[in-house]
Structure 1
Amino acid sequence: MGEDRKQDLKTQELHYWGNTPEEEYYNLHGIKSAKSFYTSPRGITLFTKSWLPSDTNPPKGIIFMVHGYGNDISWTFQATPIFLAQNGYACFSLDLEGHGKSQGLKAYVPNVDFLLDDCLSFFQFILSQNPTFQNLPKILYGESMGGAICLLIHFKIQTLFNGAILIAPMCKISEKVRPKWPIPEILTVLARFAPTLPIVPTADLLEKSVKVPEKRITAALNPSRYKGKPRLGTVLELLRVTDSINGRLSDVNLPFLVLHGSADVVTDPQVSMELYELAKSKDKTIKIYDGMLHSLLYGETDDNIEIVREDILKWLNDRC
């Protein structure tokens, strides 16, 4: 890895610790960033951000990004859109309901379809406000649960987006963290009466996702991070949605890049391979990274992160 790139990553770490003013931080990286609140059609107030190339570099494409369960767009996630903006791509994202600075009970996902509609309405709003974007490639990007939401968006609207980048997509929850029988049956009964109750017994996802110990510490410092156990209703909804998507892999029909770590124990890399094999898409690419965990773009070593980033950038540049 080049020394400049190493220094870039270290600078981002300093920002996560709160030592760099926000505007100065983005100027340092040669990009523009803005934040605002967006009210979805169902009346939910959602925190949003954009990361754009400098004025001297018009965007090559538009990337609409969806974070994963328990994450948000203002902490470790944003290292990726910053990198993409530096390389000519306009990136837009929002904190999902119940995540980050958006409205809702923390980490409660009563219905993934609501999140899907929120994302889609926001992405369409961005396009309506920026006519120059209409003729640019429009790419979906999702991490983990966000990858599942991207696939659901594709199932709902087949023609709006020109491709998708799926990072360890939650097409199926790994058996290594999925509750064992009879726990799901018991939880299903309890959820009817107390869906928001945070009592689902699961492994520590941060420990399972992030390989580098120092980065676990940084991730844990996120003031918006949900630190409780998963809520009953959330787990049952994610199980429902992933089972549904797993049965529709052959319906995927847009260009996509799917990336997964072979050692991921949060989402199942085998299902990503099944997605690649079963999808109708004529343009499809898969990368399985030996020994990498769930958090490919933050939790790995800096050298591994550079490998994943460059694979994403090459895929984008070849199509934009």
Structure 2
Amino acid sequence: MATLLVTGGAGFIGSNFVHHVLDHTDHEVVVLDKLTYAGNLASLDGLPAGRFRFVHGDIADPTVVDELVGGVDAVVHYAAESHNDNSLHDPRPFLDTNIIGTYTLLEAVRRHEKRFHHISTDEVYGDLELDDPARFTEHTPYNPSSPYSSTKAGSDLLVRAWVRSFGVQATISNCSNNYGPYQHVEKFIPRQITNVIRGIRPKLYGKGENVRDWIHADDHSSAVLTILDRGVIGETYLIGADGEKNNKDVVELILTLMGQPADAYDHVTDRAGHDLRYAIDSTKLRTDLGWTPQYSDFDAGLAATIDWYRTNEAWWAPTKDGVEAFYASKGQ
């Protein structure tokens, strides 16, 4: 048994990881979350009080971070500003959280000699052409294209530097696009699902040709646990489930699964600098550490996700109107 400090554990991917850890191990979990708009305590409802504790705080606060890191065995760092559209509107919070916050955590694990795992994104690699057969690997050069992805790239480089310069016991994972329960309705898949539930036509950026490599959040969680258990210090592992789909196909599948005509959506103004294609080669993780995804059927995983949003309207409804008003003001 170990005690894990999970930063950003009230957010989408972080909360799924907390549930996964408590369901599949005997570890204890401490969550540190600032509870910005993307954090939701309701995502942590029902967790066992004896093995779980929540702390409201900022990863950029060295006093809070130092005390917590000193009392755990390992830190799993999910906390991040992560929405591309928001980074184009106001980049500053992305610098504060993704750069300064990661630095603060690294200094704490360095002082206390704790294990550290850093959660990153495939967006640090930029994008691929739609007809390019290549996929991202651990050796792909960084080429971020937004304030969000550039600050995540910067945080990755900080981790690498602290491993080499100070001997911090850290690993990094770069994951493809996640879907599943507890995802904020500003994100692509839950936005379209909740639009259909509300009787609103889904919205598709541009022509919808942009390709994302989808992975269920539970598979991401199992991969992170695998890296914590068996990953080599200083190494980076790419996490993906071979789930490449273009946005048009995803919207049409959502509509079909929800009993609507597949073409019942609207094209809206494309995002500035919208990356064309992401694709992950997770061979290293699978061959070196023996990990395999469980959600190999995207249609089935998406259907289960739709069911979750239908069942949990009380979780997402309070933020839905504000999100749609924001996008309407941008013609999206």
Give the TM interval when normalised to the shorter protein.
0.3 to 0.5
The TM-score normalised by the length of structure 1 is 0.34
> What TM-score does the superposition give when structure 2 sets the normalisation length?
0.33
